Amino acid sequence: NAGVTQTPKFQVLKTGQSMTLQCAQDMNHNSMYWYRQDPGMGLRLIYYSASEGTTDKGEVPNGYNVSRLNKREFSLRLESAAPSQTSVYFCASSETNYANTGELFFGEGSRLTVL
Amino acid sequence: EDKVVQSPLSLVVHEGDTVTLNCSYEVTNFRSLLWYKQEKKAPTFLFMLTSSGIEKKSGRLSSILDKKELFSILNITATQTGDSAIYLCAVATRDDKIIFGKGTRLHILP
């Protein structure tokens, strides 16, 4: 079982470059999420998608765009990377029906450094 | 603005001690409160709480929710060095947004 797969695991960018973080889940979950984690800051929600075809801003959306390509895939794009976007990024998914445990299933994380 | 506040942010105790971690929240359309443990990589799920006053237990860990006072506690009894981790509290809303607090970094001394 792959669960949630995100790529790449590591990336170094120069200021102003663009890149896309890819995320795919094979659990048929409706909801998908992108978080960033910085030291001492917990997990901050960037964007989420409650279902295929919908996306919503989270706590820190500025400088990011997302695409819910289909039910499986949810990508995060940095159009013009800035050093402040250096972070560890986690993709997660969840099933949001009455029977679910509320568990977020996380990918392994992507460490992004912007020079 | 929805927010989740955890305290303390950092805690150091000796093996065998009991610890209580706190989580308070202010969100619209509350659905559930979640606790996670994070060691080196991605967080791992501990508990989901939806009803006030019902304790969830798993081994030495337990948690309870107070929806009137908008807080939850996570207790760990007879702590072990393997309990050293960041403990994250999160709140899920009815529109499926899930936001986290800053976490409590717990260090257990042998």
B95:A104 CB<8 A = no
Asked if B98 and A56 count as a contact pair (C-beta separation under 8 A), the reply is no
**Model pLDDT, residue B54:** 87
Q: Within an 8 Å CB–CB cutoff, is residue B36 touching chain A? A: yes
**Model pLDDT, residue A1:** 63
Asked if B91 and B2 count as a contact pair (C-beta separation under 8 A), the reply is yes
d(CA A92, CA A76): 12
Q: What is the pLDDT of residues B56-104, one digit of tens each?
A: 999 999 999 999 999 999 999 999 999 999 999 999 988 889 999 999 9
B90:A104 CB<8 A = yes
* Residues contacting residue B64 through CB under 8 Å, at least 6 positions apart: B49, B53, B54, B55, B56, B72, B73
**Amino acid, res. A19:** M
Using CA atoms, how far residue A101 sits from A19, A98, B3, B17, B46, in Å, is 34, 9, 22, 30, 10
Q: Within an 8 Å CB–CB cutoff, is residue B100 touching chain A? A: yes
Closest C-alpha among B14, B35, B6, B9 to residue B98:
B35
**Model pLDDT, residue B89:** 97
A40:B9 CB<8 A = yes
Q: Within an 8 Å CB–CB cutoff, is residue A77 touching chain B? A: no
The partner residue sitting opposite B96, judged by closest CB among A44, A48, A101, is A48
Using CB atoms within 10 Å of the CB of residue B4, give its burial: 0 to 12 exposed, 13 to 18 middle, 19+ buried: buried
Paired tokens of A52: 């295929």
Confidence of residue A33 (pLDDT cuts 50, 70, 90): very high
Q: Which residues of A touch B50 (CB under 8 A)?
A: 102
pLDDT (average), residues A73-95: 96
The partner residue sitting opposite A108, judged by closest CB among B42, B100, B103, is B42
pLDDT (average), residues A93-111: 80
Q: Within an 8 Å CB–CB cutoff, is residue A94 touching chain B? A: yes
**Model pLDDT, residue A98:** 54
A103:B90 CB<8 A = no
d(CA B51, CA A109): 32
HSE of B32, CA atoms in CB hemisphere, 13 A: 19
* Residues contacting residue A56 through CB under 8 Å, at least 6 positions apart: A47, A48, A49, A50, B95, B97
Q: What percent of chain A has pLDDT over 90?
A: 80
Confidence of residue B1 (pLDDT cuts 50, 70, 90): confident
